[in-house]
Structure 1
Amino acid sequence: MPSPRRPDHRGPAVVERRPRLTPAETTQVRGLLAAAERADGTPPVSEQGVLQLTAGAAAQTHLLAVADEQVVGYGSLVPSDDPAGAAALVGELVVAPDARGRGSGRALVEAALAARGPRALRLWMHGDLPAARHLAEDLGLRRVRELLTLHTRLGTLPALPEVPGTRVRAFRPGEDEEAWLAVNARAFASHPEQGSMTLDDVLAREREPWFDPAGLLLVEDTSSGELLASHWTKTTPSPRPEEAGPRGEVYVVAVDPPAQGRGLGHLVTLAGLHHLAGRGVRDVDLYVESDNVRAVATYRRLGFERSGADVLVEAPARGPGS
C-alpha cells in the first residue's frame, strides 16, 4: 500500500492500473487533487471524476503513478460513446505539484494510450496549463474541444424581465427530477456529458453537501405547469482565501428547445444570479462550450468574462494493423 507522500521524492514513477481504489488510496488521491487545485488555481478533475472515486463507473480504470512507494499522480479512464456513436476512452490525469517535471505526467499519458486499444483517447487538460499543453503537443494529441470558464463579480443586478405565461419557482426534491431530466436531455441532446445525465446522477448530486433545492430554479408554463427552463446554481466555500463569502457557480442552464427564442435563458440565468446574491455570493463562475455562441453572448450581456478554459485533446482511433 503506497504511503503518504513525502516532499523529497526523486525516484521515477511506475504507473499501476486498478479497476477500483481502496479507501486508503481514495484518501491519498483526494489529498493529491486538493494540493493540485491549490497550486494551479483550478480543479484538476471534473465533479463527475471526484464522484467516481468512490461510486465508480462502468468499466472505469484508475491509474496510479507510484514512486518510492508513494502516489505521485492519478488518472481516471472511462469508456464513452459520443453522439455520433464513435467509441472512445475519456480520461483526466493529474500529477502532485511537488512531483512534477520528473516524467510522471508523460508516464500517465503513455499508460492511457496503452489502455485505449483501438479506440480514440480523449484527455481533459483542466486549466489548459502550459506544462500539460506542451506535453500534449509533444505526444501529437490534437485539440478537439474547448470549455470556457467565465467569471463575474456580482454588483447591482437588473430586475427579472417579465415573460408572459411563465413563473419561476424552486425545485421540489422527489417530485421534479423526471421533468428536469427530460428537459435537460432535450436541451443537451448533442452534449457528450450533460445530455446523458441519469436519475442516479441527479440523486447523487442531491446528496452532496452543496445541494440546495432553493438554488435549482425552474421556469414553468403558468397554465399547464409544463417545465420550460431551469437554472441549477451551486454555492461552495471559496478556495481563494482573499475572497470573502462563498463562491457561486452557474451550474446548469437548460431551455427546452421548443421554448427557445422567448428570452427564457436570460430570465432563468438572471433569476439564479439573484438567488446567489441573496446567499452572500459575490464571485460567480460558469462553464460553457466555446462554440455555443448564443449562450456565450447571453452570459457576456450579464457581465461574465473569460477567466480560463478546459481543453479536450485526442489521440485518434487506431485502424487495423496500426
Structure 2
Amino acid sequence: MSWIHGLPAATVDAVRVAAGAAEVADGIAPLSGHVLEALGSDQYILATRSGTQVLGLAVSHDDDPVELFVTPEHRRQGLGTELLHAALDRAGAVWAHGDLAPARALAARLGLVRSRELLQMRRPLSRSWAAAQVAASALPAGVRLRTFVPGRDEEQFLGVNARAFDWHPEQGRLDLAGLRAEMAQEWFDPDGFFLAVDEHDTVLGFHWTKVHRDGAVPLGEIYVLGVDPAAVRNGERVRGLGTPLTAAGLAYLAERSATAMLYVEGDNLPARNLYRRLGFEVFTTDVVYRRAAAT
C-alpha cells in the first residue's frame, strides 16, 4: 500500500458515502470532523475496487494519529489489518473512534497500547437551566463578556489559545490560516464565540461554541473553552473565568439545541470534574493506540 496526496472531488464524494455507511453500521463516525472538512487535501491510502468503489481508507492529517476505516461489507478480510500496519508505520499511532469492541480486539492481537483517551460528554439543554447557570455565575471585577469580532480579535485570540493549550497536540498548534479556515465553515457564528476581556479590552479567556446541523436535530457543542494562564489584572492573576464563560456559551446553545456536547481529554480531571458538576456524562470514548515501547 502506498500513500497519495489529495483526492479528486468524485472520490471525496465516494469516501463520504463509504464513511456514512460505516457510521450507520457502527453507530459512530469513523473520521473526525476536521478530517471530514479537509477531505481531499491530506495524505491517503485509498482501497478501491475497479477504481471507484471505496473499500477502506486511511487518512494522515498533519502529524496526528492516522484515522482509518473499512466499509462494513469488506471487513474481516484482512484489509483493516493491512491499513493499520501502514498507518502505524507512517505515524506511529492511530485513532479508534468509539472504542469499539472490534478495534479493541485488533489492538490486543497486535499488542498495541492505549496512549490517549478523548471523551465526548453530553447533557440535555433547556433555556431555563442555562439561564440559571448564567444567573449563578459571576465575573471577576473589571471583566466583561463580549463576542468575537472578525478582523479585529484573531491575533489576541490566537495568543490566548496558544498559551492555554500549549500542552494540547491539536488545539495548541492553531494558527491564523487554520483559524480563518474554521471561520469559513458554514457553522461558524461569531455571536456564539464569547471573549472575556478587561477594561482595556485585553482578551483573558474565551468560549467558542459550535452548532452541528448535519444530523436529524441540531447538536450544540462547547467547541473550545480556554483561559489565559498568564492573565493578570492589577498585578494579580485573574481567576474565576471558566464558569461564566461556560454559562454564556450554554445559554447561546440552549437557544439552538436541546443537547450540549463537548470533548475533553480523559486525563484532564479538573475539566472533567467541572463538566460533571454541570451534569455532563460520558457519551463516547475515542482512543489513540500505539505500538508498545520496545523493552
User: What TM-score, normalized to structure 2?
Assistant: 0.89
Is the Cα–Cα contact under 8 Å of residues 91 and 124 in structure 1 kept in the other structure? yes
Aligned to 2:74: 99
1:108 alignment partner in structure 2: 83
Partner of 1:208: 185
Please report how far the alpha carbon of residue 64 of structure 1 lies from its aligned counterpart in structure 2 after TM superposition.
Answer: 1.0
Range with greater deviation from structure 2 (174-183 or 154-163) = 154-163
What is aligned with 1:66? 48
Range moving further from structure 2, 161-170 or 310-319: 310-319
Q: 1:66 to 1:167 in 2, by over 3 A?
A: same
Does the CA contact (< 8 Å) of 2:227 and 2:242 recur in 1?
Answer: yes
Cα shift at 1:16 = 4.9
State the alpha-carbon separation in 1 of the partners of residues 290 and 22 from structure 2. 23
Offset from partner CA, 1:56-92 (integer Å, 9 cap, x none)? 3xxxx30112245421111112453xxxxxxxx7200
- Structure 1 segment 152-191 matched on structure 2, within 5 A: 152-155=123-126, 156-157=129-130, 158-160=132-134, 161-163=137-139, 164-191=141-168
Provide the rounded CA distance (Å) in 2 between the counterparts of 1:264 and 1:113.
Answer: 40
Partner Cα distance (1:79, 1:53) in 2: 13
Q: CA deviation at 1:193?
A: 0.6
Amino acid at match of 1:110: H
**Distance in 2 separating the partners of 1:317 and 1:77:** 22
CA offsets 1:158-195 (integer angstroms, 9 cap, x no match): 24222121111111111111111110110000111110
Match for residue 250 of structure 2? Answer: 273
1:226 alignment partner in structure 2 = 202
Aligned to 2:66, the other structure's residue is in SS state: strand
Tell me the secondary structure at the aligned position of residue 33 of structure 1. helix
**Secondary structure in 2 aligned to 1:165?**
coil
Unmatched segments (≥5 aa) in structure 1: 1-14, 81-88
Q: Secondary structure at the match of 1:45?
A: coil
Alpha-carbon deviations, 1:221-267, whole Å to 9, x = none? 1x11110111111112263x4xxx41111110011113477221111
Unaligned residue ranges in structure 2 (runs of 5+): 232-236
Select 2:39's aligned residue among 27, 38, 53. Answer: 53
Distance in structure 2 (CA, Å) of the matches to 1:47 and 1:228:
28
Residues 141 and 314, structure 1, Cα contact 8 Å, conserved in 2: yes
Q: 1:226 to 1:238 in 2, by over 3 A?
A: same
Whole-angstrom CA distance in 1 between matches of 2:238 and 2:289: 33
Counterpart in the other structure of 1:8 = none
Distance in 2 of aligned mates of 1:317 and 1:196 = 26
The amino acid across from 1:250 in the alignment is I
Distance 1:34 1:179 in 2: 38
CA contact (8 A) 2:5 2:41 kept: no
Alignment of 1:1-322 (within 5 A): 15-56=1-42, 61-67=43-49, 69=51, 70-78=53-61, 80=63, 90-114=65-89, 116=90, 121-155=92-126, 156-157=129-130, 158-160=132-134, 161-163=137-139, 164-221=141-198, 223-237=199-213, 239=215, 241=216, 245-259=217-231, 262-279=239-256, 281-315=257-291
> Structure 2 vs 1, CA of residues 18 and 55 (structure 1 numbering), >3 Å: closer, same or farther?
closer
Cα pair distance change 1:316/1:52, threshold 3 Å = farther
CA RMSD, 1 decimal: 2.0
CA contact (8 A) 1:143 1:314 kept: yes
CA distance in 1, matches of 2:56, 2:227: 39
% of aligned pairs identical? Answer: 43
Contact 2:6 2:41 in 1 (8 A): no
Q: Higher helix proportion, which one?
A: 2
Q: Could you tell which deviates more after superposition, 260-269 or 127-136? A: 260-269
- Report SS of the residue matched to 2:39: coil
Secondary structure, in 3 states, of the residue corresponding to 1:258? Answer: coil
Deviation per residue, 1:278-320 (Å, 9 max, x gap): 22x111111000111111111111110111111001126889x
Count of paired positions? 283
Letter paired with 1:217 = F
Residues in 2 aligned to 1:194 and 1:227: alpha-carbon distance in whole angstroms: 18
Q: Report the residue type matching 1:73 in the other structure.
A: G
For 1:85, the equivalent position in structure 2 comes to none
* Contact persistence 2:96–2:287 (CA under 8 A): yes
